[in-house]
Structure 1
Amino acid sequence: MFYKISIKTSSHTDFIDITPKVREVVKQSKVEEGICVIYVPHTTAGVFINENADPDVVYDVKNHLEKLVPWINNYKHLEGNAAAHIKSILTGNSISVIIDKGDLVLGTWQGIFFAEFDGPRSRNVFVKILK
């Protein structure tokens, strides 16, 4: 069994801290020791772990990705969202986090982010808890 977290993004590129929602899934699972797998089933979105204490970090990541993979019109992919596909590859579409004592093992400043690269849209994140 897996859990689904529904997300509505509000802009073309959007990073949403989903740590509280994933923690709630872990709590509901009642698993004390295991692995939490977070998976994004979209080719123009991703998921990553990084600092969630200072919003300037997310701002810097977003701006650097825009410079690294700009929205230009010379990609061969005809849908116009080739840059979103490339950014999704760079962030990845899944992460695994250790569960210990019924909670996620994250560093002091770490959070789990959903990354939207072709929004705004309604998206899903799947969470699987392994004992």
Structure 2
Amino acid sequence: MRQASETITIETGGKGFVEFTDRLCEFVAASGIDTGLLTAFCRHTSASLLITENAAGAVKRDLAAWLERVAPEGPDYEHDCEGPDDMPAHLKQVLTGTTLSIPVARGAPALGTWQGVFLAEHRAAPHRREIALHLLGE
């Protein structure tokens, strides 16, 4: 078994989704590992990771609208240290998660045809987000 690890930084423009599938593919290819398991971990509590369709923009718009309905900004939260989007961002992160496990086959992430890997930024302001990558395989 071999291992590879790296931390990548993703710049966000505020609320929304940033696809980074290509960066995962580059990391796996550079590792020389043909078969294994890739773990991606978001090192933040107000951003998360998703695998979803990367072809139709309506998917991301519908996801964003659903998350806003489930965890809207408003005065009903005790935790608001960093503004009205603070606690809703944490709730959205809890719902969507910080860790993804992706099989690697033939030297590439074994994603489906329409699947992309996204960082979901849940805060209104732009941020620099760190994603820890770890690949184990042979």
Q: Same fold (TM over 0.5)?
A: yes
1:6 aligns with 2:9: yes
State which of 104, 117, 124 in structure 1 corresponds to 2:130. 124
The 1-side partners of 2:46 and 2:30 are apart by 29
Q: How does 1:69-108 map to 2 (within 5 A)?
A: 69-79=71-81, 80=83, 81-108=86-113
For residue 78 of structure 1, report the CA deviation from its aligned partner. Answer: 3.1
Q: Which runs of 5+ in 2 are unaligned?
A: none
Secondary structure of 2:10's match? strand
Provide Cα deviations, 1:74-130, integer angstroms capped at 9, x if missing partner. 201131300000000011000000000100101111010101111311111111001
Using the aligned pairs only, state the percent identity.
34
Q: How does 1:12-51 map to 2 (within 5 A)?
A: 13-51=15-53
* TM-score normalised per structure 2: 0.91
The 1-side partners of 2:53 and 2:97 are apart by 17
Q: Which runs of 5+ in 1 are unaligned?
A: none
Secondary structure of 1:87's match? helix
For residue 68 of structure 1, report the CA deviation from its aligned partner. Answer: 1.1
- Number of residues of Structure 1 aligned to a counterpart in Structure 2: 130
Secondary structure of 1:2's match? strand
For residue 69 of structure 1, report the CA deviation from its aligned partner. Answer: 0.7
The 2-side partners of 1:109 and 1:78 are apart by 37
1:57 aligns with 2:82: no
The 2-side partners of 1:77 and 1:28 are apart by 42
One-letter amino acid of the structure 2 residue matched with residue 8 of structure 1: E
The 2-side partners of 1:84 and 1:36 are apart by 26
Q: Please identify runs of 4+ aligned residues in structure 1 that moved more than 3 A.
A: none
One-letter amino acid of the structure 2 residue matched with residue 43 of structure 1: T
